[in-house]
Each structure stands twice: as C-alpha cells, then as structure tokens.
C-alpha cells in the first residue's frame, strides 16, 4: 500500500482511541511498518482489532491479524499428524508421500518417513512430531508477521532422521 494510504488507516486509531496519546510521530512509525501490507488487508485487520482491543493495537498485532486474514488460521499439529498416519497407510514406508504443507514435510524428514511408518510407539512419535510441528509453525508465522516471507530456517538444528541413523547402524 502507499504510504499515504497507511497514514489514513493509522488515523483511525486517533479516532477510535480518543483518550490515547497517539502522536503524529507514532502514526508515521505505524505507517512505515505497515506499508508493505495490502491496503485492503490492512484495513480489515485494523477494523477487526479496533472492534476487539481495549488499547491501541501494536504493529505486531496488526501484522499478525493481517497474516490471519491472508493465510487463515494455523493448521493444528494433530491434524498434520493425522495426515502423516493416513499417508503411512496409503503410501507405505517405501513410497514417496506428498504432504499438504511444508512444515509437515520438514517434521517427517526430521523424524524419518520409514521410522514413522514402522514405529510401534505412536504415542511418543505423535508427541515428538506435534512438538516439532508447533515450534516450526510458530517460527514460520513469526517470520511472516515480521515480514520475512522467504524460506524459513529453523532456529535450532533438526534431529537426524531416524532413517539416517538406521542406515548408519547397518553400515557398521
């Protein structure tokens, strides 16, 4: 959106929160950090937040709301785990599954496709998968809110795939 459009949207705050000390400088900062968002999406985000926030929403809150509008609510880790289970049954351990999102693919790569298909400890595997999925998803959404729309890099190193560990043992 244009800087002037961002300033117009930010002016809503001074009207919606008349008791708040929202200065011209504050408006310029908000406009600067929101100008990369589509004008219509930003307007929707601001309207939603003004209707539910007691205090002036932060830039991060506006950006998070805009992401929610554009990308929808985040997928649950258990839903992703269900997809892994279905594909284990359909494709099998030797097949090449296609996942509906990149985070699921990263988690499966980290834990090992063959391992997940052959494992007898579904409770532990589900727990590990869901923990990793939630972490990677939160990291990706935080990066998108901050404006880093490119490929995300994990903040911690992913565990070695169980398939790799199994192959290494067999080669010993």
Residues 120 and 67 placed together within one structural domain of the fold = no
Residues 63 and 93 placed together within one structural domain of the fold = no
Nearest to 30 by CA among 48, 68, 56: 56
- pLDDT of 148 > 70? The answer is no
pLDDT digits (tens, 9 = 90+) for 74-89: 999 999 999 999 999 9
The reported pTM is: 0.67
Q: Are 155 and 139 in contact (CB under 8 A)?
A: yes
Out of 30, 52, 71, pick the residue that ends a domain: 71
Residues 48 and 26 placed together within one structural domain of the fold = yes
pLDDT digits (tens, 9 = 90+) for 114-147: 999 999 999 999 999 999 999 999 999 888 888 7
Out of 17, 47, 71, pick the residue that ends a domain: 71
Quick count: other Cβ atoms within 10 Å of Cβ 140? Answer: 20
- 100-105: long-range pairs with CB below 8 Å, 24+: 101/75, 103/75, 103/133, 103/136, 103/137, 103/140, 104/80, 104/133
Q: Report pLDDT for 127.
A: 95
Residues 149 and 88 placed together within one structural domain of the fold = yes
- pLDDT of 160 > 80? The answer is no
pLDDT digits (tens, 9 = 90+) for 2-51: 878 888 888 888 788 888 888 888 888 888 888 888 889 999 999 999 99
Residues 56 and 120 placed together within one structural domain of the fold = no
Which three-class secondary structure state does DSSP give residue 35? Answer: coil
Q: Are 35 and 1 in contact (CB under 8 A)?
A: yes
Residues 41 and 121 placed together within one structural domain of the fold = no
Q: Report pLDDT for 155.
A: 39
Q: How many domains does the chain have?
A: 2
* Sheet strands (E) in 61-160: none
Residue range of the domain that includes 33:
3-71
Nearest to 111 by CA among 125, 95, 127: 125
Residue that wins the pLDDT comparison between 6 and 99: 99
């Amino acid at each position: 959106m244009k800087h002037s459009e961002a300033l117009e949207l930010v002016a809503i705050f001074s009207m919606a929160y008349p008791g708040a000390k929202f200065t011209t400088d504050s408006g310029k900062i908000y406009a600067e950090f929101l100008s990369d968002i589509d004008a219509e999406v930003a307007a929707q985000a601001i309207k939603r937040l003004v209707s539910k926030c007691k205090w002036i929403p932060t830039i991060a809150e506006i950006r998070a709301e805009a992401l929610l509008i554009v990308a929808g609510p985040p997928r649950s880790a258990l839903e992703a785990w269900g997809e892994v289970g279905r594909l284990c049954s359909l494709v099998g351990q030797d097949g090449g599954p296609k996942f509906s999102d990149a985070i699921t693919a990263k988690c499966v790569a980290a834990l090992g496709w063959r391992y997940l298909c052959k494992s007898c400890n579904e409770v532990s595997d589900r727990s590990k998968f869901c923990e990793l999925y939630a972490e990677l998803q939160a990291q990706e959404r935080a990066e998108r809110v901050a404006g880093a729309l490119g490929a995300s890099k994990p903040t911690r190193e992913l565990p070695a795939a169980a398939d790799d560990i199994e192959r290494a043992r067999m080669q010993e």
